[in-house]
Chains A and B, each alone.
Chain A
Amino acid sequence: MSNSQPDNQPEVLRFGQALNRALGDAMRADDKVFLMGEDIALAGGPFGVTRKLLDEFGENRVRDYPIAEASMVNLAVGAALGGYKPVVEIMFMDFCTLAMDALVNQAAKAHFMFGEQGPVPLVLRTPHGGGLNAGPQHSQCLEAWFAHIPGLIVVCPSNAADAYGLLRAAINDPNPVVFVENKRLYSAKSDFPADPQPIEIGKARTARAGNDLTIVTYGNTVHLAEQVAKERAEQEIDIEIIDLRSLQPWDESAVLTSLSKTHRLIVLHEATEAFGIGAEIAARMADIGFDELDAPIIRLGAPFMPVPYSVALEAEFGPNADQLNAAIDRLLL
C-alpha cells in the first residue's frame, strides 16, 4: 500500500471537464476568445462541456446560437477577421455538412486567397463517433473530409490531458482548427497534470512503447488499441501505439520512426476505412517507409455503410477487439 498523501496523487479528470477547463482558462487569458453554439450557454452544452461558463463570462462571450450552423460558422469567420477568437460548437459532427461552405470555402481559404492579409483564428469543436445508438445522422466520423482541405487544421485527442493541451493550442493557433471530440470519451477519466500547458499541434504521442508491431490511431480507438495490446502482451507480443492527436498536420516522422523499429503497421480508426485517414498514412508509409516494411500495411476502420442504430447492429459495426486481433495475427503469425 502506498502511503503517499492525496496531494501527491495526480488529479483525475473527465475528458469533458478538461475541455471545460481549457475553455475557461483560454477565456481568462484572452478576452478576445468567445464561444458560440447551440444550447451551449444557458443549458451548458448537450454534453456539458460549456457548463457554468455563462455564469463567469456572461452572455457576450458565451452565446447561444439559433439552430443555423451555416451562418454560425460564417459569423465566426467574420469575427475572426475582426480580431476575435471565436470557438464554435457544432452539436454533432454530422451537422458540419450545413457549415461546409463556411469551413471549406471561407475559413480555409481566406488567409491564402487574400494574400495573407489576416489569419482566421477560429476553432470549431464537434463530437464524432458512434456507440450511443444515435443512428446514421448523429454518429459519423467525418474528420478525413477536413484533413483533405488545405488551410484547415484537424486534431482529435484521446484523453483529458491532451484534450486540454490541444484545445488551448487550437485557440492560440492563428489558423482555423477543427477540434474533434469522441463523444464516448466525454465521461472517461484520466490523469491530469497539475500545471497543464498547450500541446504542440502536429506532434504524436507514444501511448505505449513496443517492438513487434505499430498501431497508429487517434481518439477513442487509442483505448481499444491499449486494451488489445495489454492482452497480447501476455502472449509476449509487444505492441507500440502511436496516438496521432493531430490529423492535419499529422506526425509523419513519429510514425516512420516507429515503423523503422517494429517493421509492421496497422492504422486503426473509428471512421470509415475507405478513403480515410488510414489510407493517407498507409500510402505515405508504403512510399517513404517501403524499405522498413516486413509485411503489408493493414487499415482497420468502419465498414462502408452508414452507422446503424440497433444495438445488435452497432455492436458489430466496429472496429472492435476481434478485428484488431485478427489484423495483428495476420501480421505476426
Chain B
Amino acid sequence: MPASKRSAPTRLLLDLYRTMLRIRRVEERLSALFADGTIPGFIHLSIGQESVPAAITHHLTNSDTVAITHRGHGQALAKGINLDAFLAEMMGRASGICQGRGGSMHIADSSVGMLGANGIVAGGIPIAVGSALAHQLDGEGNIAVPYFGDGAIAEGVFHESLNIASLWNLPCLFVCENNGWGEFSKTDDQFAGNLKKLAATYNMDYQFIDALDVVKLSNLAGRMVKAVRKTSRPAILECKVTRHHGHYEGDPQKYRPEEELNQLGDQDPVSAAYDKLINGGVTAGELTELDQQIQAEIDASVAQAIAADHPQFEQATAGVYA
C-alpha cells in the first residue's frame, strides 16, 4: 500500500514504531559499547519498555517538561535529546550534552524540556512537581511529567509529591513504568499498597494499562495529557512493562525466575508493533529500510562521539558554580 493512502491508525502506529525502534537500536548499541569498554561506569537499559516514552511524548511539546529516571535513555530520546550529544555524553566526551560530567544517569536537555535524569530513585519526581508549579505560575498551559519506576513508589518523596500536586492543583501527569522489579527485588516485596488506592487517597485520576500495545497506550496517554492540561488536576498513569535486561548491564539476574526470562520475547512492544504494521499492509522491506536509516544515524553518531575530545579538567572545575 502506498504510504500516502495509509489509514490514520497505521500512520500513528508507524510514527510510534519509529520512536520505539530508534530507542531499541540505540540501547542495543549502548549495550555493545558498554560491553567493549567504550562506555564506562554503569548503565541501565529500558529495552522492553520503549512504548511508554514513545506514547507519552507523542502528546507533549518542547515546553512541557519531563523528569526521567536512571533507566531513562528512552525517555530522553523520545523527548528529543540530540543523539550526537547524547552518545558523546555516554562516552564522557566534551561535546556530551552535560560536557561529560553526568553520564547515563544524569542526561538532561533543557532545550527540549528534559529536566534531567536522576541517579536517586524517585529523585526526579518532586523536581518535576516543582516544574509543574512553574508551569502553573506561568499560566501557559504546559504540563510536567515525572517518569518513575515501581521501585520509586516506596520512597517518601513520592508520597509527598502526590500530596502537594493534588493540594495545589498542579498540572502533573505521574507516569509509572512498572516492570515488576525494583532493582533486584520484586515490587510486591517492597510496596504494601497499590497505586490505584493511592490515587484515590490523593483524589486524582488513575489509569492502568499494559504497555505492550503502544497505540492503546498512546490513546490513553493522549486523553490524560489533555485532561491534565485542561483541568490542572494531577493524575497517575501506571504502565505494565517488561524489563528485558538486568537492573544494570552485566547483571546476571540470578534473582529472576527462568520462566519469566524465557517469555521476554512475548512481552516486546517493538515486535508487537512490527507485527501489527505488517498486518496493516506495511511491507517488510519498508520496515527494514526504516531500520537501516536508524542504524545509519546511530553509526554516524557513535563515530562522532568516539572521535570527540575528552573534557578538560580546568573547565569542569570552573563549572561548579553558575
Contact = CB atoms under 8 A, between A and B. Distances in A.
B126 A75 contact: yes
Interface stretch (B54-62, B159-167, B201-209, B283-291): B159-167
A102 interface: yes
Contacts of B302: none
A77 B102 contact: no
Contacts of B144: 78
B137 interface: yes
Contact of A118 (B110, B157, B167, B320): B110
Contacts of A111: 319-322
Interface in A28-73: 34, 60, 65-66, 68, 70-72
Nearest to B85: A115
A174 B134 CA distance: 17
A101 B120 contact: yes
Contacts of A23: none
Contact of A78 (B119, B126, B167): B126
Contact of A115 (B67, B96, B133): B96
B123 A78 contact: no
A115 B311 CA distance: 11
B135 A75 contact: no
Contact of B157 (A71, A81, A109, A115): A71
B110 A75 contact: no
Given A79-B131, A84-B137, A117-B110, A74 B157 contact: yes
Interface residues of B, number: 46
Interface in B231-274: none
B129 interface: yes
Given A71-B160, A114-B102, A115-B98, A78 B322 contact: no
A105 B135 CA distance: 23
B97 A83 contact: no
Contacts of A175: 321-322
Contacts of A120: 322
A112 interface: yes
B108 A117 contact: yes
A101 B126 CA distance: 11
Contacts of B100: 115
Interface in B118-146: 118-120, 123, 125-135, 137-138, 144
B116 interface: yes
Contact of B163 (A66, A83, A114, A121): A66
A78 B134 contact: yes
B98 A78 contact: no
Interface in A217-245: none
A156 interface: no
Contacts of A129: none
Contacts of A196: none
A102 B126 contact: yes
Contacts of A117: 98, 108-110
A66 B159 CA distance: 12
A82 B157 contact: no
A115 B101 contact: yes
B321 A79 contact: no
Given A66-B167, A113-B102, A115-B96, A76 B130 contact: yes
Contacts of B106: 109, 113-114
A178 to B, nearest CB: 14
Contacts of A65: 164
A235 to B, nearest CB: 44
A110 interface: yes
Nearest to B126: A74
A119 interface: yes
Nearest to A174: B322
Given A70-B157, A113-B101, A78 B129 contact: yes
Contacts of A118: 110
B75 interface: no
Nearest to B100: A115
A115 B130 contact: no
B99 interface: yes
A223 to B, nearest CB: 31
A115 B108 CA distance: 9
Contacts of B126: 70-71, 74-75, 77-78, 102
B69 interface: no
Contacts of A16: none
Contacts of A76: 130
Contact of B130 (A81, A112, A153): A81
Given A78-B134, A114-B110, A115-B100, 11 more contacts: A70-B156, A71-B126, A74-B123, A74-B126, A78-B127, A81-B115, A106-B127, A114-B116, A115-B102, A117-B109, A119-B322
7 contacts: A60-B137, A79-B134, A82-B131, A112-B319, A113-B106, A114-B108, A175-B321
Which 3 residue pairs spanning A and B have beta carbons closest together? A78-B130, A82-B134, A74-B126
Interface of B: 65, 67, 89, 96-102, 106, 108-110, 115-116, 118-120, 123, 125-135, 137-138, 144, 156-157, 160-161, 163-164, 167, 316, 319-322
